[in-house]
Amino acid sequence: MAGMSLLRAATVFLGRLNPGKQAGCAGSRLARSCLKFSNVPVRHGGGGGKRLFYIQPSHFYDKRFLKLLKFYVLLTGIPAAIFVMAVNIFIGEAELAEIPEGYVPEHWEYYKHPITRWMCRNLFDSPEKSYEKLMAVIDMEAEKADLRLKQLEARRLMRERGDGPWYFYETSDKDLIDNSPKASPDF
């Protein structure tokens, strides 16, 4: 280390003595380019002092997620907006009119907007069907409650009268059990 610093100092000194020649190029034929000691790289340069490398989490996945979210929202949002705009322009909302005598309107005809009418006609159940389904559920639950009450009453009567299913099975005599294998432990 000390020798290198002495060599560097000597080379700089010789460069100052012979300003016409480049320092470090005098006898070196193997060197392809001559070193200029006036352009020495300096650490921590730039006038701002020492620049630090701050470790930060990557924003790549956040940006990718936001780009994909925007893409898929616009992929579905733009055609949906065009469709709704076309329906509003070309079809328009329904107008209120007198109901002819003897005509019973369908359940979707009570809505004003054509998209809502189409959804009620093709996607959702009619109010009558929903009512019947709810009544069927209520009826099934009432039948279950009635069966539970009948089962509790039957168990109560079986306990009172002693005629439950457990009295119909005869228990075997305990003298028929062979306990000899249990008398001596295994060795």
Residue 34 scores a pLDDT above 80: no
> Whole-number mean pLDDT of the chain?
82
Question: 21: pLDDT confidence band, cut at 50, 70 and 90?
Answer: low
* C-alpha span between 74 and 81 (Å, rounded): 10
Q: Is the pLDDT of residue 143 over 90?
A: yes
CA dihedral 6, 10, 16, 18 (to 10 degrees): -170
By three-state DSSP, how is residue 110 classified?
Answer: helix
Percent share of the chain, pLDDT over 90: 50
Q: Looking at residue 124, what is its pLDDT?
A: 95
pLDDT value at residue 182 = 76
* 110 — pLDDT class (breaks 50, 70, 90): very high
CB–CB of 91/114 below 8 Å? yes
Higher-confidence residue of 13 and 134: namely 134
Burial degree of 118 (CB within 10 A; 0-12, 13-18, 19+): middle
Farthest CA pair distance, the chain? 131
pLDDT of 32 strictly over 60:
no
Query: Confidence class of residue 149 from pLDDT cuts 50, 70 and 90?
Result: very high
Predicted model pTM: 0.49
What is the structure's pLDDT at 30?
Answer: 46
pLDDT of residue 1: 55
Please state the rounded mean pLDDT for residues 163-183: 76
